[in-house]
Structures are given as C-alpha cells and as structure tokens.
Amino acid sequence: MRVTRTGLVEAVAVATIAFSVVTVLPIDQFFVQLFTHFRLQYLGISLLLLAVFLRLRKPWFIGGIAVSVVINGIAVLPWYFGKDAPGTGTPLKVLHANVLSGNTEYERLFALLAAEQPDVVMLQEVSPAWLAALEGLRADYPYSYAEAREGNFGIALFSRLPMVSASHFDSPPRGYPTIVASIEVGQDVVRVIGTHAMIPVSGNFYEARNTQLRDIAERLGKQTGPRLLIGDLNLSQWDVNYRVLEQVSGLRNARQGFGVVPTWPVFMPPAMIPIDHVLVSDAFAVTDIYSGPRIGSDHLPLVVTLSL
C-alpha cells in the first residue's frame, strides 16, 4: 500500500479528532486523563489541519476537524479572558519552581531569585544536596521551612515575610511531605500550602495523586481567610480531577485571564503543558503570572504577582 502525504495528513486528523472527543468525556481513568493535558496542542494542530482541508476541499474532514477546533477552543480560550480587576491591596510576589533533584545548576535559580525578588519561594524536589546549596538564601529569606528528601519529593519554603507558623505533614497515601505555613502579609495572615503530587503514569500512581490532592483540597475547604495552594500538582486544568480540586478547596487558578502558561517538559517545547500551579482564594487579585527562564530543571518556574 502506497503512503501519500494526503493520507498521512488524514491519519493525523483522525487521531486528533479521536483524542479531542474522547478526552472531553468525563472518564476518570489514568490513561484517558493523560491525554487531556494537551488541549493547547490539539487546538493548534486542529486549526492547521482545518486550513489544509479547506484548501483540499474535503468536506468530511473539514466537518470533523471543525468539531475538534470547537472542543479544544472551548477548553483553551476561556483561560485568556477574565483577568481580575487591578488590586489596590498589599502586593505579594510568589515564585514556584520544581528544581529537579538531580540538577546541580544552583546558580541559575539564585540568578532568577535575584532578578525577580519574590516575597515567597516554594521549591519542589529539594534533596539534601539542594538544601545545603540553598543555605545562601537565608540572608534575603530569613524565614524558611524545609523537608529535604532523597528522590523527587523533598520540599522547601522561603519567605522574606514573617512566618507565624510552619510545619509539614506526610500526605496520604504515599507520605510525600506537604508544607503548611502561615505568613504575615501586611495586616493579614495568609495560609500557604505547598505540595508535589505523584506523577499519574499508572493506575496506582493516578489514584495516589488524586488521593493526595483531594486530602489537601478538603483541608483548604475547611479554612477561611486568604489561602494559597502552590505546587507541582502533576495535572492540568483539563483533568477531571482538577475540577474537583477547585470545587472542594474553594480556590481558583491564578492563570485565569493570562493564558495556559505551560511549564513542563522543557526538553520538548511543542508538548509543554501546565502542571505547576498557584491557586488562590477570593481574597486575592492576580496582577500577573508567567513562566520564568530555564534553571536546569525539566520544569519552568512559575512567577505570580498578587494583591491582597
């Protein structure tokens, strides 16, 4: 059988339509949900294919790929609208970074912090070696709490602002550390939770991630006042479990109005997806959010400016 360019384009179209349709269904299964994270890519490919099929005058493919454009447009485009009104309260700048436990390019993170001057820094994959390297931050960030661990689930919080309290608990079901802190911001005390969830590449890991995030969401949902959830959550805003996270916690994504802002994986830019998040309570107005430069990790940092 002879393979033609048109045939290859048609095969890509069929795959794109299939992924777009199946992943919009509320199927709570790890393999299906893995493919929900690529909505931005599906939209871009669908728009390109639509232009191709309009030129080729293939009505069935035009109709099918138009459905894909609509499905993915509905998922992606709302993230570019609905910014908060400009805040007039106390500013708060937050930087989150998964530093990658095996990364030894510490100076790249330090240069980023010097350039951005965040008030609060939440770091994931903090190994004992990373924690030793981070000692140099204490002059600028006198308040800190860390639970360094070998592997990929150590965590650390650094703050210029006074911490009223800071501790961690081992999140169920796998005991990964989650930091809980209270930080003075102007006249308010902000409750900050930082966590790194399991990567959902199998059924068991998927359930572990969901259990961890559900537990954290329930804790946040029982609290009042200004609250932040910061972390590498290993899910995008199109995963069915993300919707549960927002509903139960009562928080919203700082990305709203600023776009998708992908953060991982930096080694494959066309496939980057938004799995690092800052979620905020309604006490905050979001002034800005963007990804930072590469720091030797497989993630880009996330920088968020808030007004309380």
Q: Which tokens hold the place of 155?
A: 């965590």
pLDDT in tens, 192-213: 999 999 999 999 999 999 999 9
- Amino acid found at 88: T
DSSP string, 50-105: HHHHHHHT-HHHHHHHHHHHHHHHHHHGGGGS-PPPPP-S-EEEEEEEE--TT---
The two tokens of residue 55 are 């030129």
Q: Are strands 285-291 and 302-307 parallel, antiparallel or unpaired?
A: antiparallel
pLDDT of residue 12: 85
Q: Do 53 and 64 form a contact (C-beta atoms < 8 A)?
A: no
Question: How many CB atoms lie under 10 A from the CB of residue 286?
Answer: 21
Q: What's the pLDDT at 64?
A: 87
Please tell me the distance from the alpha carbon of residue 129 to that of residue 148, in angstroms, as a whole number.
9
Supply the pLDDT for residue 3. Answer: 63
**Cα(243)–Cα(230) distance, integer angstroms:** 16
Q: What kind of fold does domain 91-307 have according to CATH?
A: Deoxyribonuclease I; Chain A (3.60.10)
What is d(CA 303, CA 118) in angstroms, rounded to the nearest whole number?
Answer: 8
pLDDT lower than 50: segments of the chain: none
Instruction: Name the residue ranges covered by the structural domains of the chain.
Output: 5-80, 91-307
In whole angstroms, give the CA distance from residue 11 to residue 193.
45
Q: In the chain, pLDDT over 90 holds for what percent of residues? A: 87
pLDDT tens track for 136-192: 999 999 999 999 999 999 999 999 999 999 999 999 999 999 999 999 999 999 999
pLDDT at 2: 66
Would you say 65 and 49 are in contact if contact means Cβ atoms under 8 Å apart?
Answer: yes
Query: Cα(243)–Cα(237) distance, rounded to whole angstroms?
Result: 7
Helix axes 240-249, 203-221, angle to 10 degrees: 20
